[in-house]
Amino acid sequence: MSKPLPPPLLTLFTHPSCSLCHSAKAALAIAWEKRPFQYEEIDVYSKEAEKDGWDAYRLDVPVLHIQWKKGQGKRRVIMHKVEESEILKMIREVEAEAKAEESDGSSDGSISV
């Protein structure tokens, strides 16, 4: 019997004056009630974003990354219009992929987009 998978990681790239980002956060709150997940938020104008290269999203926010573990597996990306149904669909996809990798031992830690 396999151990339960940890919750997926969702990363929202945003900035305070982005009205679509407020809608994305509301969709994330609804999705979390149905399927809890780990969450991190990165302001695309922050030093952290510049250091890690995420400042490239400044003209595309909101951007949501969904992956099982940071730096592992295929990362799903939603840009601009983030809806609860799409979030839940992509969580199911990464969960299925993580379970398949766990069962066949094929996880190599690489990221593909």
Domain ranges of the chain: 9-103
Residues 6+ apart with CB under 8 A from 38: 6, 7, 8, 9, 10
Which of 23, 30, 26 has the alpha carbon at shortest distance from 88? 30
Give pLDDT tens digits for 15-47: 999 999 999 999 999 999 999 999 999 999 999
Helices (H), 35-83: 47-52
Tokens of 3: 């151990």
| The CATH number fitting domain 9-103, selected from 3.40.30.10, 3.30.70.1450, 3.20.20.140, 3.40.50.720 | 3.40.30.10
pTM passes above 0.95: no
- Please give the residue that has the higher pLDDT: either 62 or 107: 62
